[in-house]
Amino acid sequence: MTSVEHDPIVAFTDEHAFLSNFHFATVHWEGDSYPTVEHAFQAAKTADKEERRRVRECSSPSQAKKLGKRVTLRSDWETVKIGIMEQLVLEKFTAHAELNAALLATGERELIEGNTWGDVFWGKVRGRGKNHLGKILMPCP
């Protein structure tokens, strides 16, 4: 193996864009279909069916994320959000065989959701952060 095959993947862009929650791949959650994991995750923040519908119908994942910041937050959100993300990521990579194959092809490389927008919970910024999304995505412990 070359050193590149061991190097961490530090951004979910370009050939690794399929790892991003913004990647268009239909997922199902609580009886509804969403165009991306991001749409479903943002909708999951609220128990209000109408707010969920509006998030689901957003034309882009960035629009869904923006709307998700304004929904009526469910009272248990902080305790359920990681589990919901795990469910949605599993759904994405189970429902789409080509994405599952691409994920498995990352092998044992560390997956880091590196970002510039300051998300140190789901990813890392300048090497610092909890990287919960990256950890959820890694197929090998």
Return the domain boundaries, the chain. 3-137
Please check the confidence at residue 127 and state whether its pLDDT lies above 60. Answer: yes
H or E segment to which residue 37 belongs: helix 37-44
Q: Distance from CA of residue 130 to its chain's centroid?
A: 14
Give the pLDDT confidence score for residue 6 in this predicted structure: 83
Give the pLDDT confidence score for residue 140 in this predicted structure: 52
Element counts in the chain: helices (H) and strands (E): 6, 2
Give the pLDDT confidence score for residue 61 in this predicted structure: 98
Q: What is the pLDDT of residues 67-104, one digit of tens each?
A: 999 999 999 999 999 999 999 999 999 999 999 999 99
CATH of domain 3-137: 1.10.357.40
- The answer to whether the beta carbons of residues 55 and 43 sit under 8 Å apart is yes
